[in-house]
Structure 1
Amino acid sequence: MNSSQSHVENLRQAATALNLTLDERQESAILAYMAQIQKWNKTYNLTALRQPEQILVQHVLDSLAVVNPIQNFLQTRSGNDETVIVDVGSGAGLPGTLLAIMHPEWRVYCVDAVEKKMAFVRQMSSILGLPNLHAVHGRVEQLPVYNADIVVSRAFASLPDFVQWASRHAGPDGVVLAMKGRVPQDEIDALHDAQAQWRVERVEALHVPLLDAQRCLVWLHRQGNS
């Protein structure tokens, strides 16, 4: 089995472990996305990871691990309005690009202050045929409010800073999600000490296939919202 076949097999097995079903279009899009990250990394410093296996596990699978938790939350919502997700400090489009691939009915905005990274996401929207994926260059605290269902970040900032800068983009019933490694108890305590509007409702353990490290998803809700 060559390296390319190995990546395909690892992706398929990981998707099964995550209880995700990849159709041919989604699988092709994910593999093409990985290849484009490698290509762009030769010229632009999109990510610190260079090897395909690193990109697959630490970027792609790490992002795919939050698809079902988000989907399960959205299924509890009433109404048929289009789902809006804002990925803050998205970098090379993580996790936003994977969310857009897995759920073309979600409208995903990837936000980052580095233009070259948003140029990459813009290109991915075109190459991968993802009209639901949007790249936004700018500082999240200065952008027009999105009224999103989900505001998510992956390795972006501490919880207090993330909430301060990005929580205004969550709609009235929206939630803020922070993808973290170990449970950030110090950050949780600092957040609750700093303000009372947003509180940690729960911390959900995540299993990322092939990754020997802890991951969790911190769910933040406005006070008064369940």
Structure 2
Amino acid sequence: LVFDDAGMLYITMGDRGVRPTAQDLSSHMGTVARIHPDGRVPEDNPFVGREDAQPETWSYGHRNQQGAALNPWTRVLWTNEHGPKGGDEVNIPQAGHNYGWPIITYGINYSGEPIPEAVGTEAPGMEQPHHYWPVSPGISGMAFYDADAIPAWRRSVFIGSLAQMALIRLSLDEAGQVVGEERLLQDQGQRIRDVRVGPDGAVYLLTDNPE
């Protein structure tokens, strides 16, 4: 759940393991939804007025979204999602855009077989991820770093890693492109579930390990 500067609420949803629903505009599954805090649908949502679509839908074609945060420099929503075996993604969801799952993906089934619906990694009318990992780190919560406490981390986005037990730091340039990647805390053996930046500029982590 993320609020933007206009007070709109963005809600991320996965496909619940039923791949075709992410391409079905009549379903909320595999979408980013955008609503007023009281549940009303904004009149400028991209599918308002279409009988074959849910009016709350902002973007679609998502698999299993895990993290979402408002970019502090552009004030635009970023999300991340699990691929299947490979193909974890960072996306910048735009109104009405299709992010491809399961038609395009950089991953395969856990069995090693291709995704049945997939045609490859590109298709007309479908967006490429802003960043992706060929080998899935099992990404989780995300947070941008815009504090002064650690100057070397400014203009970064932090993402937790469950499978590789690390804190991922993506360095961004002024255009928001990923120009570097660093893995932190890999020696701790902790599945990092969520990450936040506090008002003191410190980075706080939530793990799902018992110790």
Quick check: TM above 0.5?
Answer: no
Higher relative contact order, structure no. (Cα contacts within 8 Å, ≥ 6 residues apart)? 1
What TM-score does the superposition give when structure 1 sets the normalisation length? Answer: 0.30
Bigger proportion of residues as helix: 1
TM-score when normalising by structure 2: 0.31
